[in-house]
Amino acid sequence: MIDTKDIIRAADAIAARKAVMRTKKFLVGFDGFVDEIIHAVATRKNNHEYQRIETITEFAGRIASAAGKSANIELVPVLEKLGGNGPLMAMAAAGMGAQVTCIGMLGYPELHPVFKPLKSICKVVSVGIPGHTDALEFHDGKLMLGKLNTIKDMCWQRLLEVVGEPVMRELFFLSDMVACTNWTMLTEMEEIIENMIRMVPEGCKVKFFFDLADPEKRSRSDLARVLDQIQALNRKTEVILGLNLREAEQVSEVLGIKEKPEESVKGVEATAIRMRENLGISGVVVHAIKYAGACIGKDSAGIEGPYCPSPKLSTGAGDHFNGGFCGGIMADLSVLDALYSGVGASGWYVRNGRSPTSEDIVGLLRGWGAGTLKD
């Protein structure tokens, strides 16, 4: 059951830490995509009106019915926007007031036009040309069809060529938190992490956050190896692993955890606790469509989020949750309040189709707590 008083209390706590948030430095990397938001057409009325395919199940049925035959499914581009786990997470954290640097594949030698909103609120460091994602959106989820293009060229050597190790060290160690995103698509991320481990001194005060980004297409041995790297980095500093429910299932399998992650308040919290204890790292946060749970050290919590059945935009919701949650952790909020910061950021984003400010997050939470939040 949703505790409305707790939601309003969390909103007040987030508002009270706004000044602290402005002092925090956040480095986010290392991907970058141009996201093309697309609707699949079920029926077309005329040149301007159509009925979209509303669910992934319906879309899958249309595809399955074409087996042994053929099908023509119309795709309608709705919006072109900045994408990539890193840039989207950076937008969320910057909206909360943090001093954010985003490094990634954002256009080279010139910044790609879709990343101009990012440059307006963050420091951007681009080292290459972005990839492209066809994001087919449905009411019950999305299908991200990625075209890697040059995104696969992101590697440590490229960072040294464009940025240089002295500047990379400065970016790392002047930050309060460093987020490493999209390990799945950045196939050379292993070398980048190894160099992070090399550079990080024992007892480093910089926190690290990892978002693996749907590792299903990577081998079990690859996933086991990056988890070993995360553990090695955690021996020098605090590391938090962020997962959605599907990713939590995949990581649990590799770790040999028998209990399957459950989509409930208690389920996501229990999953975060089990995985943190199994990995022996500082923290794990797990977010599902309706719930979120985390365990940082001995502090754990699980909450139900402000679910939106008809999102205006869902591509990037998880990244906004991560940005809101990490913002809460940097602002020294409790795990519970950081979770509310995360679901507040993603809840605002899916309803409005843009990144929220700290005031937007607080306003959404207060409206939710008062029972006036609209879907």
The 3-state secondary structure of the chain, one letter per residue: CCCHHHHHHHHHHHHHCHHHHCCCEEEEECCCEEEEEEEEEEEECCCCCEEECCCHHHHHHHHHCCCCCCCCCCEEEEEEEEECHHHHHHHHHHHCCCEEEEEECCCCCCCCHHHHHHHHHCEEEECCCCEEEEEEEECCEEEEEEECHHHHHCCHHHHHHHCCHHHHHHHHHCCCEEEEECCCCCCCHHHHHHHHHHHCCCCCCCEEEEECCCHHHCCHHHHHHHHHHHHHHHCCCCEEEEEEHHHHHHHHHHHCCCCCCCCCHHHHHHHHHHHHHHHCCCEEEEECCCEEEEEECCEEEEEECCCCCCCCCCCCHHHHHHHHHHHHHHCCCCHHHHHHHHHHHHHHHHHHCCCCCHHHHHHHHHHHHHCCCCC
Region 264-281: mean pLDDT is 97
Model confidence band, residue 374 (pLDDT cutoffs 50, 70, 90)? confident
Q: What is the pLDDT of residues 51-70, one digit of tens each?
A: 999 999 999 999 999 999 99
C-alpha triplet 356, 362, 368: angle, nearest 5°: 105
Residues in the chain: 375
- Position 149 scores a pLDDT of 73
Q: What is the pLDDT of residues 239-256, one digit of tens each?
A: 999 999 999 999 999 999
Region 269-298: mean pLDDT is 97
- Position 221 scores a pLDDT of 96
Of the candidate ranges 90-99, 144-153, 175-184, the one whose mean pLDDT is the lowest:
144-153
Spans of all domains in the chain: 4-34+80-370
- Position 375 scores a pLDDT of 78
Region 348-372: mean pLDDT is 96
Q: How far is the C-alpha of 167 from the C-alpha of 169, rounded, in Å? A: 5
pLDDT at 1 over 70: no
- Position 147 scores a pLDDT of 86
- Position 271 scores a pLDDT of 97
Asked whether the bond before 166 is cis by omega within 30 degrees of 0, the reply is: no
Q: What is the pLDDT of residues 196-209, one digit of tens each?
A: 999 988 888 999 99
Q: What is the pLDDT of residues 310-341, one digit of tens each?
A: 899 888 999 999 999 999 999 999 999 999 99
Region 230-235: mean pLDDT is 97
The architecture (CATH level 2) of 4-34+80-370 comes to 3-Layer(aba) Sandwich (3.40)
Region 356-365: mean pLDDT is 97
- Bridge partners of residue 44, in order along the sequence: 50
pLDDT at 141 over 90: no
Region 108-114: mean pLDDT is 94
Q: How far is the C-alpha of 246 from the C-alpha of 213, rounded, in Å? A: 10
Tokens 């080292």, located at residue: 127
- Position 162 scores a pLDDT of 93
Tokens 């090695």, located at residue: 232
- Bridge partners of residue 180, in order along the sequence: 29, 210
Q: How far is the C-alpha of 190 from the C-alpha of 193, rounded, in Å? A: 5
| Token pair belonging to 185 | 């698509």
| Token pair belonging to 82 | 């900045």
Q: How far is the C-alpha of 305 from the C-alpha of 151, rounded, in Å? A: 33
For the entire predicted model, the pTM comes to 0.91
| Pick from 100, 274, 97: nearest CA to 179 | 100
Q: How far is the C-alpha of 326 from the C-alpha of 348, rounded, in Å? A: 16
Q: What is the pLDDT of residues 4-53, one digit of tens each?
A: 999 999 999 999 999 999 999 999 999 999 999 999 999 999 999 999 99
Region 297-307: mean pLDDT is 96
Region 291-302: mean pLDDT is 97
Phi-psi region of 361 (alpha: psi -120 to 50; beta: other; left: phi over 0): alpha
Give Cβ neighbours of residue 352 (< 8 Å, ≥ 6 apart). Answer: 312, 360
The set of long-range contacts for 160-163, using a CB threshold of 8 Å and a minimum separation of 24, is 161/127, 162/108, 162/125, 162/127, 163/103, 163/125, 163/127
Give Cβ neighbours of residue 133 (< 8 Å, ≥ 6 apart). Answer: 33, 34, 35, 36, 83, 144, 145, 146, 147, 315
Tokens 């949703």, located at residue: 2
